[in-house]
Structure 1
Amino acid sequence: MEPGARAVPATLHTLRKNIDSIPQGVQSVVEQFSVPRQQIISDLNNVSHSIGFTIHSLLKEQVYSVLEAIQGRAQDLQNSLHHLQILHKTVRTLTHFQDELGLALRDRKESTVSLLDSPHCTSCARALGKAQSLEPGADYSRVPSVEQVLKTLSGLPKANFPDLIDQGNSTFNSMPDLAVAKMAQVVQDLKDEVNKVSKKVQSIADSFPVSDYTQPLNDALMQAENKSRPYLQEVKHYEKYRWIVGIVLCSVVLLVVACNLLGLSLGACGLAMREDPSDYESRGEAGAKFLLVGVGFSFLFSWLLILLVFATFLVGGNVQTLVCKNWANQEIYKFIDTPGNLPPSTNLTQLLNLKRTLNLTSAYQECKKGAGLWDVLQLRDAYDLEDHLHLSQYTRDFQKRLDNFNLHFEEIHFLDGAGRRDLETFRQSGIDQLDYPMFQAEMQNPVVRTSLEDLARDLEGLRKIQRNITIAGRLANESQALWKIQNATVLTQEALVVKLNESVQFLSAMAPHLQLLLKQTMAEIALIETMLPVQAQRLLRHEIGCFTRKELGYFSQYLNWVRRTLTEDVASCQPLATALDNGRVILCDRIAEPWLYCLRGDLSLPHPPRYSSQAIGRGLRHLQDSDSR
């Protein structure tokens, strides 16, 4: 009895603790809002910089392309102006050298032709043809003039293109910092909204009505636990009496057994030693007396043991049959649910506030499966959980602030008025309309139609074969004069022609694409200056939309978890079913069933010895007859 009795208050205490833990469990669930709250606050700390960086990353290709185009057109303007100046200066220099070269060649031509045509000049006919070609080859006065173009581009660039590019680049790169500064207030407002949501979530625990339903049960369990403890003390007290009674009964049984054993032993011993009549008579008589004492004790105490067995079988058997068996197969719950079996005042369905669709049997089965009090008690009628866990009531203001936020990005001007005028002047300068093929055609003509080097070498060769010393000296003089013109004028002009050719090549390669490049650059600048704020605003709305969905996902996930936890885990009625099962185990397995097992097999009850008074009398007479003999 004692272990089962001791388990009663322990079971009641455990069940009461489980019921007491429901409000703390609800509060713990509510406090777990700190997890999504910290995540949302962390996201808010980074959202402004993240949005600004995203906008910057998505637009930087277009912006950098425009800045690169502006830098390219500014470089084209600088290079074109540089090459135009070289071209103009070189043409003027070549024209000046051309006049000097023409006078020098004319003098050398007359002198050399007259010398080579002299009859005293030996083998001079072959060199005479070259001497007659001593004339300027290219006429640079015929190339188009670039003076008008230079006049148009004079003073350009008036705008500081490097500063414009740096300024545009710096303004665009400051977008993330601008977003942080512009969104600082709305981020703080959103953090305040999250703190307000924490207070709203706390209202779930404050208004959750489980305690209203569990408090009466908790009070009843407290009262039952308090009342059971004195009984436990009584059980401990009577446990001493049980031991005393048990020891006494066992001692009586042992005494009966001992008397029987002694009687039989002494009787058998007396029969074995019958040669001595005196010993035989005393031992046999003592054995008979012990048997008589054993019979007396058996008849004296057997009715007490029979009553004990009867009482235990009566109580234990009825409890086992009527209560335990029906409790194990749940028939007892059906009996309680059947109208009329219990008084109307003890309707457990109403007392426990079970749902109208449930009775004690179905409620026990649902609790056994792990159902929550939410599904067993009539909580839905008193508390609309869905209304308290509706997402919009927690996120309405949060989402509204994000939807109403609007960040106006400042307009970025990649070119000021001076820069636009410079590029427009460059486009209308006519640099692309110059006759570059005429430049190239004229530069293909040699500076001198014949090679002064070849003619000078020929004259030196002729000098060596002349017999006339005077002719030989004149040939040497003419050769030296040609070398002087070659080194002093022709080589200089050829170098200028190479330099001129580089500028013409650059300008002729750029000129066909100049108008298209400038138009595209101006159009790209106008487009990006117009579309950049619009695209930035569109990207801002998109990023805010993504951020809103992400944060609302945290709220939704938490509220879904709260719904599942409150209805399935925190307010679970499984401990009630477990307590009922524990009660059955205490009553049946620990009290009633051990009685029956003990009485059926484990406890050997003393039985009266199978001796009658007639048998004892015959034994005594037999002893007397043996004594007389």
Structure 2
Amino acid sequence: MVHLGGAVVLLLLSLISSTEPMEKCPENADLSFLENLTPAPGKSIDMSVGSLEPLYNFARLFIEAVQPNNFPLELAINASRNVPLNISLLVEYEAGYLVCLILAILYVLIMPVVGGVLAWNHLHLKKRSPNKTSTASSICPHMVIILETCLAVVVILLLTGVILAFTTNNKVRENMKPSLEQLSTDIKKVDDILKLIPKNTRAVINGFSIPKREITKELNETGNVIGETLISSFDRSVREALSALALSVQDASGALTNLEKMEMKRKDLQARHRVIQLRLQAIQSELQRIQTGCPDCNVSDASNLETVADFHQIPSVQPQLDQLNGFSSILATNIVREGNLSFYSIPQICSNQLEPTITELVLDLEDSEEYLRNSSGRIPTLRSLSNSVSSLRLAVQQYRRDVDYYDYVRWAVAVVFCMLILVIVILMVVALCLGLPIEYFPSLYSSLTKDRFKHTAVYLLRSAVVMTFFFSWLFLILVFITLLIGGNAHTLGCRSWKSGALFELLDQWEDLFLVGPGYNTTYGINSTHTTNFSQELNSTQNIKVKFQAAEVYHGCMRGESLFYSMHMHEVLNMDAFLNASKYLGVFNQSFQTLSVNLDGVTLLQPDGRQALLKFKSSTLNLIKYTALLDLLSQPVVGTDLTAFAEGLDKAAQLQGNETVKEDLKKVANMTRNLTQLVELQELDAREMSTSVRSMREISQKYQGNADRALNSITETEEAIHLQTPYIVRNVSQCVLKKGERYISEYLDWVRNAVINMVLDCKWLPVSVDNIYTAACLNIIDPWNAFWLCLGWCWALLIPGVILSIHTARHWWQAVPKSLSVTLKDLDSSPGMTKSYKSLK
């Protein structure tokens, strides 16, 4: 607050009233660009495998046992770069599967040999001499029980394996389509968010238009605010000064009007006074003539018929009127109204004078916006990662239907193979159901029934063995193919994800995490901001930031921004980039020199001031108003003319002489006519007295009023011109502070929006975990559990074959040799023909 010591009280009051409101700048408007640009994190997939979890764990343990090697980082890097693979490293990594392949080949080669041996042995036994008998008692009973029990256990395990194989096969099929959809959805989400980074960056930078609009609005209103502040500060003083001026103008106007009336009435009174004197003399002469001609007539005395007030003694006020002649033109222009218009035109004057500076500041703001837009090319956008994710997204979309179709084919083939195993298991189960009761409860069956059931059970077991020899190699091929695909998918994808080896591959992947330029790389503007801008921008193109993918993942899980977890702050210094001084340099300089010239604002124009000074120096106070009022207060005629005329009428009535009578009546009429003139003279005298009294009042105060008006106007004008620089400075500082707040708030929001919103990555762990869940837990784990169950069944088929062969041999030996004759007899029996043929 600025106080001017030594000034008049009015000036001090105006300073105090003008500076108080300027210390309180209005609060900033609500910036609508503070929007939340943070991507919404996706919803995690619920994964509940239930009772199959132990089976999945066992499959993982088996795969890790088959493929215990570490993640083949070098092979993966070469594959990603389309470099020829190192065969020795590939063989070393796939050594477990090569061993499985060798075992499978050996199995496929050995199975025909073993099958041929068993077939030869079976045929050789049939060619033995029928006299050579063998009994069931050749095998130890305990061994038989163990043999049959083991076969039953194997069959139960086979049945369990088949059920689990069906379950896991269907699980893979059920999860395939939703998981592919989920995989596509999450990859699409990641791709969309990465593509939104440049768009959101553009939206953040384009937000500069809002503070620019607010600042421009403030700038355009600066002149008006300065003017309104001046008006509000000096409105009372100006009203008082103009009121004093109006009072002085009123005095001058009243004086001019009254003087004109006085001069006009003076002329009328003096002219009429001469007429009255002449008529009075005529009446006196006529009465004297009548009195001379008729001495005995009782005629009224006409000696008092004389004027009392001598209006010729009224002085002329023409000199004073001449002194006020220049004021008539001032009254015509209404100097008070002109003073009001001049004072209230201050806002427009300020706006007009500040318009060039405001235009320069607005252009500077536009340059700042353009500079910021071009400089935003230095903000990292992860365009290379976005391109990689887009390629992955296209690949998923392209091959999703094919993968689903091939999985359907796999599911159908697996169902066929499972059905074959199920048939083999059912043959074994039925054989056991026929043979075991006879072994342990022989008394419940007749001899023929027992022999027939055993014969049937033997054929069922042999059929199961034959089907096993025919299809087991196909089972093995399916198991190996699914193991190779699922096992490598688990070790290369799922296990490497858990161990973090996949992150190491991403760290070595060239052109994946390049910090590319922003959305706008044009920098052709001509402004003070573009110095060395192109060099700064080119220095940030395609920079490989040094960070670890695992660090990014875990940092995003902790809620860190990609700006820090990817070490983008080492590439772009946000504090220097968003330094408000870059955008407020010209702004501050222009406001430091802001000024307004109000020399053209005057409450009283020079001609009006001269007229008021002339009015002040006029001789209105030299007129003898009291003597003039005394003169005007005197009667016009010393005799009451009406009474005198009535006296003449009475005297005429008393006259006998008609001539005298008529003469008196004529004189009476002349008197009455003169009465009207006298009354008009008295009226003008009264009116002139009113003007004189008004002039007497004006003469007493017109000089003081003029002095007050001139002093008040002078002091107010001086205060306005003296206070204007301070008001301009305070208002400009207020606008400057508001502009700085707008820019600072916007730049702070840009920093927060880019770091904590645009580059927020809370969505990343959720999406990546969903991809892991969809691919590994929902597809690969059931896939591996399926081949494990299928391999389980295949592995159990081997002991099942061995046990089935021995069990069938034991049961076959227990069938009597006479059974063939009996069966032939039964063939001829109508009731048994059909059932026997079916068993045969």
Query: Normalized against structure 1, the TM-score is what?
Result: 0.68
Q: Deviations over 1:210-242 (max 9, x none)?
A: 75xx96x77997999999999998998687556
Please name the residue that 1:561 is paired with. 749
1:9–1:228 Cα contact (<8 Å) kept: yes
Please name the residue that 1:90 is paired with. 265
**1:254–1:456 distance in 2 versus 1, CA, 3 Å:** farther
Please name the residue that 1:573 is paired with. 761
Please name the residue that 1:251 is paired with. 420
**1:468–1:557 distance in 2 versus 1, CA, 3 Å:** same
Which residue identity is paired with 2:711?
A
**1:365–1:443 distance in 2 versus 1, CA, 3 Å:** farther
| Pairing 1:515-530 to 2, within 5 Å after superposition | 515-530=703-718
Q: Report the CA distance between 1:577 and its aligned residue.
A: 1.1
The CA distance in 1 between the partners of 2:452 and 2:616, in whole Å, is: 154
Please name the residue that 1:268 is paired with. none
Which residue identity is paired with 2:752?
R
Q: Report the CA distance between 1:456 and its aligned residue.
A: 1.8
Which moves more between the two structures, 455-464 or 5-14? 5-14
Which residue identity is paired with 1:81?
L
**1:242–1:99 distance in 2 versus 1, CA, 3 Å:** closer
Which moves more between the two structures, 444-453 or 293-302? 293-302
**1:150 equivalent in alignment to 2:320:** yes
Segments of 5+ residues of structure 1 without an aligned counterpart are 266-276, 337-341
Please name the residue that 2:596 is paired with. 407
2:431–2:457 Cα contact (<8 Å) kept: no
Which residue identity is paired with 1:590?
N
Corresponding residue SS for 2:587: helix
Please name the residue that 2:679 is paired with. 491
Superposition RMSD in Å:
6.1
Please name the residue that 1:391 is paired with. 580
Which residue identity is paired with 2:755?
T
Please name the residue that 1:500 is paired with. 688
**1:496–1:312 distance in 2 versus 1, CA, 3 Å:** same
The CA distance in 1 between the partners of 2:332 and 2:739, in whole Å, is: 44
| Pairing 1:579-590 to 2, within 5 Å after superposition | 579-590=767-778
The CA distance in 2 between the partners of 1:231 and 1:150, in whole Å, is: 113
**1:464–1:32 distance in 2 versus 1, CA, 3 Å:** same
Q: Deviations over 1:5-54 (max 9, x none)?
A: 8976886676466456545643553344344445655666x457746874
Q: Report the CA distance between 1:164 and its aligned residue.
A: 8.8
Q: Report the CA distance between 1:566 and its aligned residue.
A: 0.8
The CA distance in 1 between the partners of 2:386 and 2:272, in whole Å, is: 121
Corresponding residue SS for 2:636: coil
The CA distance in 2 between the partners of 1:89 and 1:191, in whole Å, is: 66
The CA distance in 1 between the partners of 2:558 and 2:324, in whole Å, is: 95
Which residue identity is paired with 2:744?
S
Please name the residue that 1:460 is paired with. 649
Q: Which of 187, 205, 226 is the equivalent residue of 2:376? A: 205
Please name the residue that 1:511 is paired with. 699
Q: Report the CA distance between 1:590 and its aligned residue.
A: 0.8
| Pairing 1:30-109 to 2, within 5 Å after superposition | 30-37=205-212, 40=215, 46-47=220-221, 50=224, 54=228, 73=248, 76-77=251-252, 79-91=254-266, 93-95=268-270, 97-98=272-273, 101=276, 105=280
Q: Report the CA distance between 1:452 and its aligned residue.
A: 1.4
1:413–1:529 Cα contact (<8 Å) kept: yes
Please name the residue that 1:339 is paired with. none
1:164–1:415 Cα contact (<8 Å) kept: no
- Higher share of residues assigned helix: 1
Please name the residue that 1:189 is paired with. 360
| Pairing 1:379-458 to 2, within 5 Å after superposition | 379-380=568-569, 383-412=572-601, 419-458=608-647
The CA distance in 2 between the partners of 1:452 and 1:620, in whole Å, is: 186
Q: Report the CA distance between 1:622 and its aligned residue.
A: 13
The CA distance in 2 between the partners of 1:500 and 1:220, in whole Å, is: 108
1:257–1:294 Cα contact (<8 Å) kept: no
Corresponding residue SS for 2:637: coil
Which residue identity is paired with 2:261?
I
The CA distance in 2 between the partners of 1:109 and 1:251, in whole Å, is: 169
Which residue identity is paired with 1:252?
I
Corresponding residue SS for 1:195: helix
Q: Report the CA distance between 1:581 and its aligned residue.
A: 1.0
Which residue identity is paired with 1:26?
T
Q: Deviations over 1:475-519 (max 9, x none)?
A: 5344233223324x4134124224423422432343333123211
Please name the residue that 2:670 is paired with. 481
The CA distance in 1 between the partners of 2:587 and 2:652, in whole Å, is: 107
Please name the residue that 1:548 is paired with. 736
Which residue identity is paired with 1:388?
F
Q: Report the CA distance between 1:432 and its aligned residue.
A: 3.6
Which residue identity is paired with 2:586?
D
Which residue identity is paired with 2:597?
H
The CA distance in 2 between the partners of 1:155 and 1:530, in whole Å, is: 30
Identity of aligned residues (%): 19
1:158–1:419 Cα contact (<8 Å) kept: no
Query: Normalized against structure 2, the TM-score is what?
Result: 0.53
The CA distance in 2 between the partners of 1:152 and 1:194, in whole Å, is: 63
The CA distance in 2 between the partners of 1:537 and 1:235, in whole Å, is: 81
Segments of 5+ residues of structure 2 without an aligned counterpart are 1-171, 435-445, 509-543, 827-840
Please name the residue that 1:270 is paired with. none
Number of aligned residue pairs? 584
Which residue identity is paired with 2:364?
E
**1:282–1:56 distance in 2 versus 1, CA, 3 Å:** same
Q: Report the CA distance between 1:562 and its aligned residue.
A: 0.7
Q: Deviations over 1:323-362 (max 9, x none)?
A: 99999xxxx68x99xxxxx9xx99xxxx99679xxx969x
Which residue identity is paired with 1:208?
I
The CA distance in 2 between the partners of 1:413 and 1:180, in whole Å, is: 18
Corresponding residue SS for 1:429: coil
Corresponding residue SS for 1:411: coil
Which residue identity is paired with 1:374?
F
Which residue identity is paired with 1:424?
L
Which residue identity is paired with 1:150?
Q
**1:158–1:457 distance in 2 versus 1, CA, 3 Å:** closer
2:427–2:461 Cα contact (<8 Å) kept: no
Q: Report the CA distance between 1:549 and its aligned residue.
A: 3.8
Which residue identity is paired with 2:356?
Q
1:52–1:178 Cα contact (<8 Å) kept: no
Which residue identity is paired with 2:208?
F
**1:596–1:193 distance in 2 versus 1, CA, 3 Å:** same
**1:88–1:380 distance in 2 versus 1, CA, 3 Å:** same
2:304–2:638 Cα contact (<8 Å) kept: yes
The CA distance in 2 between the partners of 1:157 and 1:34, in whole Å, is: 57
Q: Report the CA distance between 1:380 and its aligned residue.
A: 4.3
**1:119–1:66 distance in 2 versus 1, CA, 3 Å:** same
Q: Deviations over 1:419-463 (max 9, x none)?
A: 444322322323145443444444444323443123323442454
The CA distance in 1 between the partners of 2:714 and 2:421, in whole Å, is: 120
1:30–1:204 Cα contact (<8 Å) kept: no
2:353–2:596 Cα contact (<8 Å) kept: yes
| Pairing 1:278-297 to 2, within 5 Å after superposition | 288=457, 291-293=460-462, 296=465
Q: Report the CA distance between 1:565 and its aligned residue.
A: 0.9
Please name the residue that 2:521 is paired with. none
1:51–1:540 Cα contact (<8 Å) kept: no
Q: Report the CA distance between 1:382 and its aligned residue.
A: 5.2
